[in-house]
Chain A
């Protein structure tokens, strides 16, 4: 609770400065609306924001979960088989070099204006950091622990469940936080490019109609949602780190 307060205080201060600046500098609402206008907009357009945010949240969550699951499974396959690694690696490098956001229009052409292309974009963006960290984590097992497991005749499955997976968790969880935020980006970009629903769509709508209040209100909602996912993963991450980690989360994150 105190931790939440500590985080809330700077944000509250920032909002106060923002409010004061809007009033004192007489900034027009269509350029930067004051915080109280944004709050008003959120309350007044509650049902609208709610129905659209459900779409966006679904895209973000499905994209994030699919990306995480696929990335961890891919990492397991790569760590266990050199052949799989040899086949997958070039694709992974290429897929990393391609700006995935730039593929958004293509996915709209292929999969239409529905929820599917957004999920795919969110997934593609979120996939790689989890994969890289999971591979490093699964490989970071101490050689003598592997020898120990060998000496007590543990099979590959036991080595995986009892040693490799627990060792990799402190590497995977920080990457999941990054992936969650990236999948928010992916879903929003997908909605900007072509959609008739979602918070990204509302932002575009606000932009076109100079309804900056709506733009900010949508932004606030999506930000809040991103923070909720991030904090939820962080809670699990702390537990994982305490049980399986070396005591320092940062040292486990390979790519940011």
Chain B
């Protein structure tokens, strides 16, 4: 069965977010024929090749692919941290680098970096201290955010006193602390145990619904990608290109119970199969 057939069988239910968008084609993030080439020992290495990608406002897009296929590189290009070797990146009508200076992105890095000499709460507060909020305070205070990610009472601890999973949750709280319109998450739940991961899935969906975030989410976990996303992109290996763009037709708000839905299972296994071929 083809992907197109899948989409027809489960007609896309337009989410509230999409319906509210007066101009649904106006992309929050737009990449046009983006290439990224790194200098290597044996000549230049193409990490990302001719990626065309348009992400609507308030859309949740996952990118799945094997390790080293250029997912993280693509995320850095979107974040304006890495200039593409060719092509164009536009974020809300400006360049990615400019959007970064306007603090459009809350990034959760793969290695869940924290400043080791600051406590958990101080790390969450860091973005607000670097650029204090102009007039409107952010929707959630750092304390509330720590509570939301389940770290109530751990605010005074230093990174070395926290487990990898806890640090990842601090990184998520930090990314949300200044209420950026776009969340870029690089395997944010990789080090979190299964139970907390489920809770964080619910939390993330809830926060995105309430605060109208646009999310680009990198993961290895196809089940997670399908559960959370409006679209799942499959990235091929070396050089990384978008090999498939799969719409996830389940309505929002979604519940973790979706996992036991046969249609969900079928879509997941289909994506997995597709991923194996890449």
Contact = CB atoms under 8 A, between A and B. Distances in A.
A138 to B, nearest CB: 15
Question: Which secondary structure dominates chain A's binding surface?
Answer: helix
Contacts of A54: none
Contacts of A244: 116-117
A36 interface: no
Interface in B104-119: 105-107, 109, 111, 113, 115-117
Contacts of A149: 130
Interface in A228-246: 243-244
A133 to B, nearest CB: 18
Contact of A152 (B76, B116, B117, B178): B178
Contact of A148 (B102, B113, B116, B131): B113
Counting contact residues on chain B (CB < 8 A from A), the size range is: 20 to 34
A151 B115 contact: no
Contacts, number: 48
Contact of B100 (A142, A153, A162, A243): A153
A144 B111 contact: yes
B81 A151 contact: yes
Q: Which of A151, A153, A154, A163 has the most CB of B within 10 A?
A: A151
A153 to B, nearest CB: 5
B127 interface: yes
B133 to A, nearest CB: 12
B34 interface: no
A166 B126 contact: no
Contact of B109 (A147, A162, A166): A147
B131 A152 contact: yes
Interface in B60-117: 76, 79, 81, 100-103, 105-107, 109, 111, 113, 115-117
Contact of A243 (B76, B117, B131): B117
A62 to B, nearest CB: 31
Q: Which of B100, B106, B126 has the most CB of A within 10 A?
A: B126
B183 to A, nearest CB: 11
Contacts of A153: 100-103, 130-131
Interface string A124-159: 000000000000000000101101111111100010
A251 to B, nearest CB: 15
Contacts of B126: 152, 162
A148 B117 contact: no
Interface in B36-65: none
A154 B129 CA distance: 10
B117 A166 contact: yes
B119 to A, nearest CB: 11
A151 B130 contact: no
Given A144-B109, A243-B117, A244-B116, A150 B103 contact: no
Contacts of B131: 152-154
A149 B103 CA distance: 11
A151 B165 CA distance: 22
Interface in A43-97: none
A52 B179 CA distance: 64
A249 to B, nearest CB: 16
A241 to B, nearest CB: 11
A153 B106 CA distance: 11
Given A151-B81, A151-B100, A158 B113 contact: no
A145 B127 contact: no
Contacts of B105: 151
A116 B13 CA distance: 83
Interface in A161-203: 162-163, 166
Interface of A: 142, 144-145, 147-154, 158, 162-163, 166, 243-244
11 contacts: A144-B109, A144-B111, A147-B76, A147-B79, A147-B107, A150-B81, A152-B178, A153-B131, A162-B130, A163-B115, A243-B117
Given A151-B79, A158-B130, 6 more contacts: A142-B113, A150-B100, A151-B103, A151-B105, A152-B103, A153-B101
